[in-house]
Chains A and B, each alone.
Chain A
């Protein structure tokens, strides 16, 4: 039966398992199991020889995970998280935020064309990208914090891949029925009924994928307008391409690849193993309590010989990544705790204490195994490591808030023209030209005064202010929410030498925000004839 060569034998065996026992394993074939905890359990073979652990082929075909429906506190929490995260995702682009007549009124908007990022009361310009970088660092450290405290809980509840996979699994359940029905249908030959069913299911996949991609683009333009334009066929081609790509990737990643993404594509499981320690809360199977496994019947026959695990395999059946938590902590576990829900039910049914599979720290597991009372899992939340992460996280947050509070909405950049560096005028005075960029980060037009500092006798004019109006300071209107580029001509009297001076910009409103930029006035070198250039 367990012939190592020839796919035929293997497939036969899998089909046997699927049909007879109603349970199939993803990573390694299991020879016996039942899904129903009440039913009698039986084992065909005690233990496979060591060699069986070697892969039979170098590349193994993915085996579908048909996880069973389960209810329990963690499942309900997962539902709540799914509703909350999806609601945030779909509702956010529709929230309006009044920013006055010159700025978009969408609360969260990534305005790529104008290079602005709006988030409620905050508006980020390209030169302030450090805010976004800071948020990303906070997200990273937040992930460290969550992982060191409660393991891969982000993966289990909030990760988009998890949320959408969960959604697609519910679709499977809705269309094809629960685990056993789905496995039967999978193994069944292709009949018209199956084709129709699959077509129906994949249509729902596509609708979900489309809704996912469709919502994504709403973050990049005015949502109601884009929504209308999109269905009227008037939206930009990039919108359609984005939606098409995201629809496809959502269906492929969430509908078909599912746990493969979590196990093989996602880098986080590799990192998390470095983040976890014996004090982190993870989903663990308490083997000292469960082993050796034996059915209720066997345990009744030989009291004292078997552990609490009745080997019903329900924990495996409900697992969205199709792993067996009883093999110990492993890369495929996303810490969703559905197996806890499952096993707690079983334990309740057979009248044993709950928590054979539970959120626990490895340290506490050892204590418990030694017979000591475990400490409250909450203790794990407060320990040097989590506190350190929280402190780093919080201080970055405070620093960002501070920077946000003190940032100026006025800015100036100066670049001197270097070709030619200076210009001799007919009356002997010396002219330099500069390109100035005046930034007005407020959503109203503002007047800005630009003044020369440290250039005695210097006057300036610009491409819009004529030379006749040359003066040591000029006032320019900068349109709302824009950077105005101007060419400034600065002229100093004959005999002025090379020297440093500054442009100072001051907003002509009650804020009187100011910014100043040091630059250099170029002039003929002393001793050089005044007219040679």
Chain B
């Protein structure tokens, strides 16, 4: 058998295959053709690529890519998925919209769904101030939502109200509004020191004095209560428990008496839909400090009002 072809390439005897014509240290490479399936796969990828470029957004132009004849886009896809997910949730949302919030705990499955939805909404809207664990921040005066101390009430309806109308929202009639006057200049320094001591004495942390008690009764008891128990009507914190919104040292309390810092919370009405607010309320209520709803005065008119 001839060892060389006119091309000068050698034929490898045992296999009968042409070599590629090079030699490296006596090692030659056979010019074995590609397996046919491999070639076909390769051709198919080319066909696929052409189809893809025509059908889908692919080719970068000056300001955006070609649109593709199928009109598909990842944004459109996302919008479709979101609306599908919304549609899937619609049933739960409808039921949530119909149920008065204080009746929510009776439907434990719906409550669980509300808590889950509220958790998600909380992570988006509330963690910036209250923290991802809802523990708030004492330095910045964001209340801890896990405990059992509530400025404005901790039942589902009160929480929903706070969420809806916010706190200290200027120009909003229904907002929660508490005002602590600045006593700087209104009280004598000695009175200030005495009232700080008195506040600390309410939770047994210092000795009180007659001056302190008198100053407190004259200036503070109207909102904070005679024993410093606070008032939810005015959003006045209780001063006789273990929880301090803005710190419990003399320094903290003095600063708060002289020149109080006042908290603020956006009203979510108009920004979040009522169902989301309801879910948020359920979530906050579920954090561990939620209070049971107590019907204060059974006003039949109100109740009828609330029926769906």
Give chain A's interface residues, CB within 8 Å of chain B. Answer: 4-5, 51, 54-59, 417, 419-420, 423-428, 431, 433, 463-464, 466, 489, 494, 529-533
Contacts and interface: CB of A to CB of B under 8 A. Distances in A.
B270 interface: no
B74 interface: no
Nearest to B249: A529
A50 to B, nearest CB: 11
Given A423-B135, A428-B242, 4 more contacts: A54-B14, A420-B131, A425-B289, A532-B247
A419 B133 contact: yes
B244 A425 contact: no
Nearest to A418: B133
Given A56-B16, A531-B244, A423 B146 contact: yes
Nearest to A491: B288
B241 A426 contact: yes
B292 A426 contact: no
B17 interface: yes
Main secondary structure of the interface of B (DSSP, over half): loop
Contacts of A5: 1, 16
A428 B240 CA distance: 11
B201 to A, nearest CB: 15
B122 to A, nearest CB: 12
B147 interface: yes
Nearest to A5: B16
A529 B35 contact: no
B41 interface: no
B288 A433 contact: yes
A313 B14 CA distance: 29
Contacts of A531: 242-244, 247-248
Nearest to B242: A428
Contacts of A59: 35
B307 interface: no
A424 B15 CA distance: 84
A59 B37 CA distance: 13
B219 interface: no
19 contacts: A4-B16, A51-B14, A54-B14, A54-B15, A55-B15, A57-B16, A58-B17, A423-B135, A424-B147, A425-B149, A425-B243, A426-B149, A426-B242, A426-B243, A428-B242, A529-B248, A531-B244, A533-B135, A533-B138
Contacts of B14: 51, 54
Contacts of A533: 135, 138, 144
A532 B288 contact: no
Interface in B229-248: 238, 241-244, 247-248
A60 to B, nearest CB: 12
Interface string B238-265: 1001111001110000000000000000
B15 A58 contact: yes
A531 B242 CA distance: 6
A419 B144 CA distance: 12
A69 B76 CA distance: 63
B132 interface: yes
B11 to A, nearest CB: 9
Given A4-B16, A466-B292, A426 B132 contact: no
How large, as a class, is the contact surface on chain B?
A: 20 to 34
A489 B147 CA distance: 11
Contacts of A417: 133
A489 B248 contact: no
Given A59-B35, A466-B292, A530 B242 contact: yes
Contacts of A420: 131, 133, 135, 144, 146
Contacts of A532: 138, 247-248
Contacts of A433: 288
Contacts of A463: 286
A424 B243 CA distance: 7
B148 A425 contact: yes
B119 to A, nearest CB: 12
Contact of B288 (A4, A51, A431): A431
A262 B144 CA distance: 68
A420 B244 CA distance: 17
A463 B35 CA distance: 65
Interface string B133-162: 101001000001011110000000000000
Contacts of B148: 425-426
B108 interface: yes
Nearest to B244: A531
B7 interface: no
Contacts of A494: 242
A425 B242 contact: yes
Contacts of A529: 248-249
B77 interface: no
B288 A423 contact: yes
A369 to B, nearest CB: 35
A99 to B, nearest CB: 27
A417 B119 CA distance: 15
A533 B140 CA distance: 13
Contacts of A428: 241-242
Nearest to A55: B15
B294 to A, nearest CB: 13
B256 to A, nearest CB: 14
Nearest to B243: A426
Nearest to A423: B146
B286 to A, nearest CB: 7
B230 to A, nearest CB: 10
A529 B32 CA distance: 82
A420 to B, nearest CB: 4
Contacts of B15: 54-55, 57-58
A424 B144 CA distance: 10
